Amino acid sequence: FLLQKYLYFKKTYITCSEKILSTKSKKTLAKPGVKNIVLVDGVRTPFLQSGTIYADLMPHDLARAALQGLLNRTGLPKDAVDYIVYGTVIQEVKTSNVAREAALGAGFSDKTPAHTVTMACISSNQAMTTAVGLIAAGQCDAVVAGGVEFMSDVPIRHSRRMRKTMLSLNKAKTLGARLSLLGSIRLAHLAPELPAVAEFSTAETMGHSADRLAAAFGVSRLEQDEFALRSHTLAKKAQDSGLLSDVISFKVPGKDIVSKDNGIRPSTMEQMAKLKPAFIKPHGTVTAANSSFLTDGASAVLIMSEEKALAMGYKPKAYLRDFVYVSQDPKDQLLLGPTYATPKVLEKSGLTLNDIDVFEFHEAFAGQIMANLKAMESDWFAQTYMGRKTKVGAPPMEKFNSWGGSLSLGHPFAATGCRLVTTVAHRLQKEGGQYGLVAACAAGGQGHAMVIEAYPQ
């Protein structure tokens, strides 16, 4: 049954690409008075499961690798960059402006300023749109954007009580005062505080919310496992056929050269069915196999005004067009960002879902993707919760994440956005489409979508 389903995907995929190739040349989305902004190129380090080969690095090491990779790939003169914006979610406190630390290490000019942004899983989307804004406002011509996430090491803190005692200890003047402070330490104060992928506002972990979301939309365990398997199968195929050309090779200090993502593992439905639910026990549906895994990785893109890119002799890959950010209830609609963002950005661009040739949606959980697809397919949801007259419709599966997604390639939170945009550009080139759509959800109940237009080849 599964094989059949997979073959079906494959078949429709082929017929569809033929169709796209035959119907060509729609209008361009250029707007009068608005600068054309282009993606020159994008790269990423291999995305590795956390705790594997990158385990001994620091976040800025990974970011540096991505930045150097971008320099190598584009041959960009190091002083040609006006600005660098980088995203990160879980911050290493020593390198809180990781953008600057990585840029200096990557050999960018020390005259190039850099700042770090954070917006959960859409942090590098935010980095890219910040770059777009700088260029559109005429303040910069060439900006590097990117994102890094390093889950092999996270800040684990002393308890608040312990921190307070330690800080007071610094101020204590006499030995007696110090001893009395030390004496106030209790065993319970030594318990550390671990960061959790949980909403601050609701204290609910994201997996738990995803499970409830899947249940709310009636997404079955089977549907989720099937979608996860599809993601891994397509990612494996893309990897084997060399389609993942955004991946650069990275000589890890003290280790070998890494040049491939290591989380792609097509399994079988039977094996996946054996897993117990990871968050809502015992009756939940979200498991380790149908969720994205903790990942280390970094990505970077070069964004320029079209004139500048052409003046420097580049052949851009795509135009970055309209984008939106949305936000909604962080409890019950935490992961519905794509549902809200998609119709909004399409409207902005004057497009419909049918105009889009390539969809790249961030796959946080298979259940989250399926819930979003069902929400987008529902008139009732559009009318009741989005104040829209009709549904926007769900993307056709043959155009959707066809080179794998976050479930299989991995999801280093702040690095995923650049991967999505670069993948759209590459797929548009490869498949010959004109418009691509990126959409993603993020913690805090936020979301993002961007329309990307192929650069004429």
Partner 1 sequence: GGSLLCLSLSAARTHVSYEVKDNVAVVRINDPTSKVNTLSRHMQAEMVEVMNEIWGNAAVKSAVLISRKPGCFIAGADINMIQACKTAEEVTSLSQEGQKIFDQVEKSPIPIVAAINGSCLGGGLEFAIACQYRIATKSKKTILGTPEVMLGLLPGAGGTQRLPKMVGLPAAFDMMLTGKNIRPDKAKKMGLVHQLVDPLGPGLKSPEERTIEYLEEVAVDFAKGLAGRKVTVEKKKGLVQKIQDFVMGLPPVRKQIYKTVHSKVMKQSKGLYPAPLKIIECIQTGIEKGNAAGYLTESQNFGKLAMTSESRALIGLYHGQVTCKKNHFGKPERDVKKLAVLGAGLMGAGIAQVTIDKGVATILKDTTEEGLARGHQQVYKGLNDKTKKKSLTTFERDGIMSLLSGQLDYRDFENADMVIEAVFEDLSIKHKVVKEVEAVIPPHCIFATNTSALPIKDIAAASKRPEKVIGMHYFSPVDKMQLLEIITTNKTSKDTTASAVAVGLKQGKVIIVVGDGPGFYTTRCLAPMLAEAVRALQEGVGPKKLDSLTTGFGFPVGAATLADEVGIDVAAHVAEDLGKAFGTRFGGGNVEVLKMMVQKGFKGRKSGKGCYVYGAKSKEKKVNSGAEDILKSFKLTAPPAVSADEDIQYRLVSRFVNEAVLCLQEGILPDPVQGDIGAVFGLGFPPCLGGPFRFVDSHGADKLVQKMKRFEEAYGNQFTPCQLLLDHAKDSSKRFHK
Question: Token digits for 136?
Answer: 């559109």
Count of residues interacting with partner 1 (CB under 8 A): 27
How many distinct helices (H) and strands (E) make up the chain?
15, 12
Specify whether the CB–CB gap between 85 and 114 falls below 8 A. yes
Secondary structure of residue 84 in the 3-state scheme? strand
Residue 223 vs 431, nearer CB to partner 1: 223
Q: Output DSSP code: residue 346.
A: H
Q: 157 CB contacts (<8 Å, ≥6 apart)?
A: 163, 192, 193
CB of 221 to partner 1, least distance (A): 11
End-to-end C-alpha distance for the chain, whole angstroms: 40
Alpha-carbon distances, residue 79 vs 32, 76, 112, 142, 446 (angstroms): 31, 8, 7, 10, 35
418 flagged as catalytic: no
Q: Which residue has the tokens 């090779």?
A: 249
Contact flag: residue 390 with partner 1 (CB under 8 A): no
Known active-site residue 441: yes
Give the contact letters, 215-234, x = binds to partner 1 (CB under 8 A), - = no: xxxx----------------
Q: Which of 79, 240, 307, 329 binds partner 1 (CB under 8 A)?
A: 329
Q: In this structure, which amino acid lies at residue 185?
A: I
Given 22, 380, 389, 456, the residue binding partner 1 (CB under 8 A): 380
Nearer to partner 1, 352 or 384 (CB): 384
Q: Which stretch binds partner 1 (CB under 8 A): 138-146, 299-307, 351-359, 370-378?
A: 370-378
State the minimum distance, in angstroms, from the CB of residue 350 to partner 1: 29
**Interface with partner 1, residue 200, by CB under 8 A:** yes
How far is residue 264's CA from residue 47's CA, in Å, rounded to a whole number? 10
Q: Which are the contacts of 368, defined by CB distance < 8 A and separation ≥ 6? A: 210, 213, 214, 335, 441
Q: Which stretch binds partner 1 (CB under 8 A): 138-146, 170-178, 290-298, 379-387?
A: 379-387
Q: In 137-173, which ranges are continuous DSSP H helix?
A: 160-171
Residue 203 engages partner 1 in binding (rule: CB under 8 A): yes
The span from the CA of 40 to the CA of 307, in Å, is: 12
Give yes or no for residue 15 binding partner 1 (CB under 8 A): no
Selected range binding partner 1 among 105-113, 171-179, 223-231, 275-283, rule: CB under 8 A: 275-283
Residues 278-307 that bind partner 1 (CB under 8 A): 280, 282-283
Binding site residues, partner 1, CB under 8 A: 200-203, 208, 211-213, 215-218, 280, 282-283, 329, 331-333, 371, 374-375, 378, 380-381, 384-385
Active-site annotation, residues: 121, 441
